[in-house]
Structures are given as structure tokens and as C-alpha cells.
A and B are shown apart, each in its own frame.
Chain A
Amino acid sequence: MNSTLDALVRCIAVLLVFLVFPLVIGQTEHKVMAHMQGRLGPMYAGGFHGWAQLVADGVKFAQKEDVVPAGADRRIFQLAPAVALLPYLLALVAIPLGPNDLVGQGVDAGLFFVLAVMGVGVLGSLMAGWASANKFSLLGGIRTAAQLMAYELPMLLAAASVAMAAGTVSLTGILGAFHWWWVPWQIVGGFVFFVSGLAELQRPPFDMPVADSEIIFGAYTEYTGLRFALFLLSEYAGILVVSALTAVLFLGGWHGPMADSLGWLWMLLKTFALAFLVIWIRVTYPRLREDQLMRFAWTVLIPLSLAQLALTGIVKVVIS
């Protein structure tokens, strides 16, 4: 009975994190972008900085008509947002928040679990792109698939480097083996992982698949109302997962002063600092061209991640 209750509490906690944090990141993005670009946006709803605008936006999305195009493949079109969103909920289960088993569910091959589940999420964009019966959507879907195949490899190699350093693929195990000097040791891998993560989420400057000025938001062109909101939410949930994973793998997760009592706070601070960086990058850099995007993955990121893997192997042999 006790273990059942424990599992239930953990599930509810993960669900709460999943429901709240992506919204916080979304709202932060609106506000940070607005201030960085010197335009205020809605400032009156709810009083402080127009925070209630988020609620109003949610209500607006819920009120909109849910349109399915006549030529679309109905079932796949309607299923796609769920396929895009749910994997991130599953991924959150395995990411440790603090020391002493403060994790949704410790998974033995946690690293593989999270990366595998994130790969499934992209199927949602592909399904949406194909099922919309729209050429712009199809172009977006093709770009998504090409981008995913190019950036999955460096991401996995960078993650493998950390797994090699720690001697385990369990996320809690990796954090247990962490030392501060891993940060400079794995810094190249961290860069590769974070950048590939941005590309996998289709965030600027890698947002070719959803480039609104060229192909009108790609795979999401035909979506309206709640289903469109779910796609947006999956993007923010993706930012949360990628930031948290980068924090765990390359920045030491809950490690920090007074980690025993304040570990969760360090983890949250690192995650949200990275999420802020994601938003900052969006405001700062222009979109890459499709060929630049591919060349960057194959000629910069993959060699860098292979070099990091070699460095990790050499240091590991030397110190053991």
C-alpha cells in the first residue's frame, strides 16, 4: 500500500511539473522577448506585467473552432498533437530533481529512455505535416525529418561521452558520479548536446521546419484552437526537457553548495538558466538556411562530438 501511494504521489508530482513549468517557460519567453526587443506587449491583464494574459490566451485557444481540413487524413491529423506532447511527459519521469532519490522513477537506462522517448515526439510533427494535405505542411514535415536525422547523431554521441565518463547510463547514477571538473572536461559535448537539442526542438536559429515567413509554420499550418495550443505546449515542454537534461548531464544537476537540502533548487536554477538561454538565442540569432543547417550538423557538430568522445576515452583511461 505504501509503495502504491509513493508511486501515485510521484506520478502526480511529475504531472504537476509537466503542467506548470512549460507554461512558466512560455510566459517567460513572451516577457523576455518583449523586453529584449523594446516592445512591451500586454501589460495590464491581472496587474503585474500582464501575467493574466496567459490565462486569457488559454481561454482564447479553447474557444476557437477545431477545424480539420476536408482533404486531411482525419484520424492522424487529430492524433498528431498528442503524439507530439506526451513523450515529453514520459521523459520528465526519469529526470532527477535532487539527491536521495528525488526523481519520478529511477530508470536503469535512463539516458537511453529519455533520448528514445524524445525521438518519438518528432513523429507528431511528421504525422501533422503529412496528414494536413497541404504542401507547406508537407515541406515542413520533410524539413523536420531531415533535421532530426542530422542532429540526432551528434546529440547521442555527446550524451554517450557523459555516459562513458560516469560509467553508467542511469541519470541518477551519472549525477552520483559527478565531480566539478567534469564541466570543463565535457564542455564541448555540452555545447554539442545543447545545440542539437535546440535543433531537435526546431527552435531558432534552427526553426527551418516551422519558418513562418517561408512555409507558414510548416506542419502546424492547418491547426487551430486547442490542437495548435498543444503543439505550442509541446515546444515549451521540449525546452524544459532539453534544458533539464543538459543540466543533469553537463552541469551537474543538483550538485552545488548545500546540495543535501537545496539540491532541487540548484537543479531548477540551472534548468531555468538554460531555458532563458534558449529564449535569448531565439531573440539574438537569425534563422539558418536549410543547407547551412545541414552543413553545420555534419561538418561541425559531429566532428566536435567525436573529438569529445575521444577526449573522454583518453582521460578515462589515464585516470583509472
Chain B
Amino acid sequence: MNLAVTALDSTHGFLSPSGVEIVFVLVGLGVLGAALLTVTTKQLVHAALWLVVALGGLAVEYLLLTAEFIAWVQVLIYVGAVVVLVLFGLMLTRAPIGASPDADSGNRPLAFGVALAAAATLVTLVVDAFRSTWIDLGTVAGSTKANGVTLFRYWVLPFEALSVLLLAALVGAIVLSRRNANARDEKER
């Protein structure tokens, strides 16, 4: 109910935010904090777990923008698969409990510069692209059906190109791992 009213109201202002907008900003600040902790914490596994918080917070942001499908896919792929993979790697290398002093590299200032530049570009781009456009949250824009229709009616070619790219990466990974195995076999002979 509340959403529809905000959307129809033509006098959107930054000084009279609706409840959803306040929550959106608060969750956004939480995501930012978690992301900062991810890159600043000295404990490797803590970094991975803060990444979970940041990615989960992003999923909540998607939900607040009524993009439900994207939100669950975000949780499924990033939290359920990518972070598990990261944790798996960390466990295999026996990440110690407590601080790992060698985790800091000398590239810190450079990394900071790159991050700042990327963030500035993205923020400029998004602000310039949407300016004062308001999303009508009253009609669910990100349902599974809407996503499917847009994806397979207007964006089929990029979708297929991405699939081919992923397939190539998959085949490449298999080839790389197999070649190493062969080389080892020959060495053993």
C-alpha cells in the first residue's frame, strides 16, 4: 500500500523520505560498512564472512527494489556458492585463527586509488543515467516472469554470448587441469 502512494506522489523530495527509502539507505550503510571491514580486517576468514554480510545486504537492497528473483539468485550464487568456494580455498591453505600479518601487501595505496576511481566512475554513471527518475515500487518490476520476458525477448544475444564465454572458461579449466595431470604422469615415468 505504502509503496504505491510514494510512487504516485509526484513531489519526491530527499527531505521527506518514505519508510522503504530510509530502510534502503540504512541497509546500504550496513553493506558499505561490511565491505570496508572485508578489505581492512586482518583475519582472512573474517574477511570472507564479512563478504557474506555485504552480499546478503545487497540481496536485501534488491528485495527493497522489488527485484525478488535477482535477490534470491544473489544469495544462491554468491553466498551459497562463491563464498563457500572462497572458504574452501582458505581452509585448504589452513588460514590461521587470529591475524595474518602477511595478508597485507604493499599495493595498498594503489588498490585504494583503483577502488576510488572505480567507485567514482560507477557513481557518476548511475547518477548521470537516472538523475531524478523514480522507480514505481507499486508494480513489481523484478518478478521472475518480468525478468524472463526481458531476458529472452530483448537480451537473448548477450545472454547467449555470455553462455558461450562461460562454456569456454569451463572447457579451459578442464584442459588446464588435464595437461598438468599428464605432465605429472610423464615425469613419474
The answer to whether A and B interact is yes
Enumerate chain A interface residues (CB-CB to B < 8 A). 71-73, 76, 107-109, 112-113, 115-120, 122-123, 126-127, 129-131, 133, 138, 141-142, 145-146, 148-149, 152, 156, 168-170
Given the contacts A76-B45, A109-B69, A112-B76, A149 and B91 also touching, CB distance less than 8 Å: no
Q: B79 and A129: CB pair below 8 A?
A: no
Cα distance A132–B145 when bound, in Å? 44
Q: A108 and B81: CB pair below 8 A?
A: no
Given the contacts A72-B97, A122-B84, A127-B49, A108 and B76 also touching, CB distance less than 8 Å: no
Chain B residue nearest to A121 (CB atoms) is B80
Cα distance A205–B175 when bound, in Å? 32
> Which of B59-111 touch A at CB < 8 Å?
68-69, 72-73, 75-76, 79-81, 83-85, 87-88, 90-92, 94-95, 97-98
Instruction: Output the least CB separation between B143 and chain A (Å).
Output: 5
Q: B91 and A119: CB pair below 8 A?
A: no
CB contact between A145 and one of B69, B73, B84 (< 8 Å): that residue: B84
Q: A141 and B91: CB pair below 8 A?
A: yes
CB contact between B52 and one of A73, A115, A123, A133 (< 8 Å): that residue: A123
Residues of B within 8 A of A169 (CB): 69, 144
Q: B72 and A149: CB pair below 8 A?
A: no
Chain A residue nearest to B52 (CB atoms) is A123
Residues of B within 8 A of A133 (CB): 97
CB<8 Å pairs between A and B, sample of 20: A76-B46, A76-B49, A109-B144, A112-B69, A112-B76, A113-B72, A116-B72, A118-B80, A119-B81, A123-B79, A123-B84, A123-B87, A126-B88, A129-B91, A130-B91, A131-B97, A145-B88, A156-B76, A168-B144, A169-B69
Cα distance A141–B79 when bound, in Å? 16
Instruction: Output the least CB separation between A67 and chain B (Å).
Output: 16
Cα distance A145–B93 when bound, in Å? 14
CB contact between B80 and one of A71, A116, A129, A141 (< 8 Å): that residue: A116
Instruction: Output the least CB separation between B57 and chain A (Å).
Output: 13
Given the contacts A145-B88, A149-B88, A152-B81, A112 and B49 also touching, CB distance less than 8 Å: no
Instruction: Output the least CB separation between B141 and chain A (Å).
Output: 12
Residues of B within 8 A of A145 (CB): 84-85, 87-88, 91
Residues of A within 8 A of B94 (CB): 138
Instruction: Output the least CB separation between A295 and chain B (Å).
Output: 16
Instruction: Output the least CB separation between A154 and chain B (Å).
Output: 14
Q: Which 3 A-B pairs have the closest CB atoms?
A: A119-B80, A116-B76, A145-B88
Residues of A within 8 A of B79 (CB): 116, 119-120, 123
Instruction: Output the least CB separation between A82 and chain B (Å).
Output: 13
Chain B residue nearest to A112 (CB atoms) is B72
Residues of A within 8 A of B98 (CB): 73
Q: A138 and B91: CB pair below 8 A?
A: yes
Residues of A within 8 A of B90 (CB): 130
Q: B97 and A120: CB pair below 8 A?
A: no
Q: B68 and A126: CB pair below 8 A?
A: no
CB contact between A149 and one of B45, B69, B85 (< 8 Å): that residue: B85
19 additional A-B residue pairs with CB within 8 Å, beyond A108-B144, A116-B72, A130-B90? A76-B45, A76-B46, A108-B68, A109-B68, A112-B72, A112-B73, A116-B80, A123-B52, A127-B49, A130-B95, A131-B45, A138-B91, A138-B94, A141-B87, A141-B91, A142-B92, A145-B85, A146-B88, A149-B85
Chain A residue nearest to B80 (CB atoms) is A119
Residues of A within 8 A of B92 (CB): 142
Residues of B within 8 A of A119 (CB): 75-76, 79-81, 84
CB contact between A109 and one of B72, B81, B85 (< 8 Å): that residue: B72
Residues of A within 8 A of B80 (CB): 115-116, 118-120, 122, 152
Interface centre among A118, A126, A131, A138 (most CB of B within 10 A): A126
CB contact between B84 and one of A117, A148, A156 (< 8 Å): that residue: A148
Residues of A within 8 A of B46 (CB): 76
Residues of A within 8 A of B140 (CB): 108
CB contact between B87 and one of A72, A117, A130 (< 8 Å): that residue: A130
Residues of A within 8 A of B87 (CB): 123, 126, 130, 141, 145
CB contact between B143 and one of A76, A108, A131, A156 (< 8 Å): that residue: A108
